[in-house]
Amino acid sequence: MKPAAFTYHRAHDVADAVGLLSDLAAAGGDPKVIAGGQSLMPMMTFRLARPSALVDLGPLRRMPSMTTIRAEGDHLTLGALVTHHAVETAALPDGFAVLARAMRWVGHLPIRSRGTVAGSLVHGDATAEWCLLALLLDAVVVAEGPSGRREIPAGELFHGFYATAVDHDEVVVEVRFTRPAPHAALTEFARRHGDFAIVDAAVALDLDGGSVTGGRVVLGGVAPAPVRVPEAEAVLASGGVAGDALWAAVADAAAAAVDPPDDAATTAAYRRRLTRTLVADACRDAAGGLR
Amino acid sequence: MNDPHLLSLTVNGTEEEVLVEPRRTLADVLRHDLRLTGTHVGCEHGVCGACTVLVDDAPVRACLMFAVQAEGADVRTVESLDDGVRLSDLQQSFSEHHALQCGFCTPGFLMLAEGVLAESPDAEREEIREALSANLCRCTGYQTIVDAVHATATSRRETTA
């Protein structure tokens, strides 16, 4: 349970980190970025990951742009090194308050104290809360590489099985959430509190008084990557009175649409049942935001 | 590929300099290099919480942090709690409430609780329960640990009131 040996490199700014990644790779290495390390370190102690070198973004914490949460107009921008706990305790605008409420599902407090938003997105676990929230609130990941900065919309970020569109020589500098959702919620089920979810569901409702006019449904744990469920969103778009009958219809549509993985510990049928329950719960929670 | 790094950090108020291999975790440097064996190591992959210490006042898993990442950090371990003669109020409360049996998980619970109470001095029982769910104990069944931390929170509030 000890990581394999690697060389360690401290980045002094973003350009330095990008340069280190390119130089180490050009020298035949397999470098990886470490920020909070809360996903990478367990993988390294199990030796599922054996990078030849780590480029540590820790020193970049002194740069305000990397650790600041900024609300500008209809956007919320999180520096790449903002921790889960910083979001949990931040006073966020109504349109993004779901982010703070969802943090209680991310591991435990000591994990949230170190783990970062960008790190979670780049790790790309199919059940990670941040991956669902990115799809729910149209996140844009800003990454810097050797040829400059580019923006990756959440819809193009997740390739499944821990692969993302962020290249090996790129460093995420910020994550911008561009779709405020005042009526949104995330919920999940795991066998033990703080474990990775078996299935998690995030819902954002477009409400006009007591009527639903549309919304989003995002699921984790039912496919190799987190997914939006157009069939369930179509039920929301067709509208109706906010209430249990509509939530049941949305949940049934979601459960019918997914084709979840089937394994000995957790069958596909079980994940489908969880999907139905969690989508209905998330709808109810999201509508409760009206109060 | 040994690649030793000179690491400077503050541990329990003392400035320390250690030459470390990058793959050494903070838990290993505390135990093996600094001989502070109060920090226990259970699962070594971030599940059990036995190695919880405070880094810049925040409770973290010392097994999920490479020591080199703690450059310049202020680390507090369980050894910082008592004054050499008397137990701290929190430790005393653990004793009075039977919040430990074998004691293996206790240093992690103590440092987790110190971090939680420092950030949320007004924490009530439910919030304490939620926070303590981060760590595993195979003996007590947790109720007595929650009791001990809750009693400490209450008495600290009364002292400062």
Chain B nearest CA to A195, separation (Å): 9
> Which listed CATH number (1.10.10.10, 1.10.150.120, 3.30.565.10, 3.40.50.2300) goes with B89-160?
1.10.150.120
- In the prediction, which pLDDT does A1 show? 78
Please indicate, yes or no, if residue A35 is contained in any of the structural domains: yes
Give the separation between CA A98 and CA A115, rounded to whole angstroms.
Answer: 18
Q: Give residue B127's Cα distance to chain centre.
A: 18
Please indicate, yes or no, if residue A14 is contained in any of the structural domains: yes
Radius of gyration, CA atoms only, chain B:
16
- In the prediction, which pLDDT does A58 show? 96
- In the prediction, which pLDDT does B150 show? 98
**Which residue among A5, A113, A193 places its CB closest to the CB of B59?**
A113
Using DSSP's 3-state secondary structure scheme, residue A33 falls into strand
Mean pLDDT of chain B, nearest integer: 96
Give the separation between CA A65 and CA A56, rounded to whole angstroms.
Answer: 17
Q: Do B134 and A110 touch (CB under 8 A)?
A: yes
Last residue of a domain, one of A148, A177, A206: A177
Q: Are residues A244 and A267 in the same domain?
A: yes
DSSP string, A113-144: HH-BHHHHHHHT-TT-HHHHHHHHTTEEEEEE
Q: Check if the beta carbon of residue A187 is closer than 8 Å to that of residue A200.
A: yes
Please indicate, yes or no, if residue A165 is contained in any of the structural domains: yes
- In the prediction, which pLDDT does A285 show? 97
Q: Is the pLDDT of residue A289 over 70?
A: no
Please indicate, yes or no, if residue A50 is contained in any of the structural domains: yes
- Please check whether residue A45 touches B, CB under 8 A: yes
Q: Are residues A189 and A279 in the same domain?
A: yes
- Please check whether residue A85 touches B, CB under 8 A: yes
Q: Do A111 and B134 touch (CB under 8 A)?
A: yes
- In the prediction, which pLDDT does A229 show? 98
* Model ipTM value: 0.95
Q: Is the pLDDT of residue A173 over 60?
A: yes
Digit-coded pLDDT (tens) for A195-248: 899 999 999 999 998 999 999 999 999 999 999 999 999 999 999 999 999 999
Give the CATH number for residue A162: 3.30.465.10
**Which residue among B22, B44, B61 places its CB closest to the CB of A1?**
B44
Please indicate, yes or no, if residue A264 is contained in any of the structural domains: yes
Q: Are residues A189 and A266 in the same domain?
A: yes
Q: Do B23 and A114 touch (CB under 8 A)?
A: no
Question: Domain boundaries in chain B?
Answer: 5-80, 89-160
Please indicate, yes or no, if residue A1 is contained in any of the structural domains: no
Q: Are residues A163 and A233 in the same domain?
A: no
In total, the C-beta contacts within 8 angstroms joining chain A to chain B are 93
Residue B1: pLDDT band with limits 50, 70, 90: low
Q: Is the pLDDT of residue A290 over 50?
A: no
Q: Are residues A49 and A85 in the same domain?
A: no
Q: What torsion, rounded to 10 degrees, do the Cα atoms B150, B153, B158, B161 define?
A: -140
Q: CB atoms < 10 A from the CB of B37, how many?
A: 14
Q: Do B60 and A2 touch (CB under 8 A)?
A: no
Digit-coded pLDDT (tens) for A31-81: 999 999 999 999 999 999 999 999 999 999 999 999 999 999 999 999 999
Q: What share of chain A is helix, strand, coil (3-state, %, to 5)?
A: 40, 25, 35
| Burial of residue A233 (number of CB atoms within 10 Å: 0-12, 13-18, 19+) | buried
**Mean pLDDT value across residues B94-121:** 98
Please indicate, yes or no, if residue A263 is contained in any of the structural domains: yes
Digit-coded pLDDT (tens) for A119-150: 999 999 999 999 999 999 999 999 999 999 99
**Which residue among A3, A41, A108 places its CB closest to the CB of B133?**
A108
Domain with A256, as residue range(s), is: 184-288
Last residue of a domain, one of A120, A149, A177: A177
Best CA proximity match to B113, nearest among B65, B156, B64, B66: B156
Please indicate, yes or no, if residue A2 is contained in any of the structural domains: no
- Predicted TM-score (pTM) above 0.90: yes
Give the separation between CA A287 and CA A236, rounded to whole angstroms.
Answer: 12
Q: Check if the beta carbon of residue A166 is closer than 8 Å to that of residue A127.
A: no
Q: Are residues A71 and A168 in the same domain?
A: yes
- Please check whether residue B136 touches A, CB under 8 A: no
- In the prediction, which pLDDT does A194 show? 87
Q: Do B115 and A85 touch (CB under 8 A)?
A: no
- Please check whether residue A47 touches B, CB under 8 A: no
> Which residues of chain A are within 8 Å of residue B69 when distances are taken between CB atoms?
34, 37, 56, 58
Q: Do A45 and B45 touch (CB under 8 A)?
A: yes
In angstroms, how far apart are the furthest CA atoms of chain B? 56
Are the folds of B5-80 and B89-160 the same?
no
Digit-coded pLDDT (tens) for A241-284: 999 999 999 999 999 999 999 988 899 999 999 999 999 999 99
Where does B5-80 sit in CATH, by number? Answer: 3.10.20.30
Domain total of chain A? 3
The interface residues of chain A toward chain B in range 119-148, judged by CB-CB distance below 8 A, are: none
Percent of chain B surpassing pLDDT 70: 99
Residue B127: pLDDT band with limits 50, 70, 90: very high
- In the prediction, which pLDDT does A291 show? 38
The interface residues of chain B toward chain A in range 63-122, judged by CB-CB distance below 8 A, are: 63-66, 68-69, 71, 112, 115-116
- In the prediction, which pLDDT does B160 show? 82
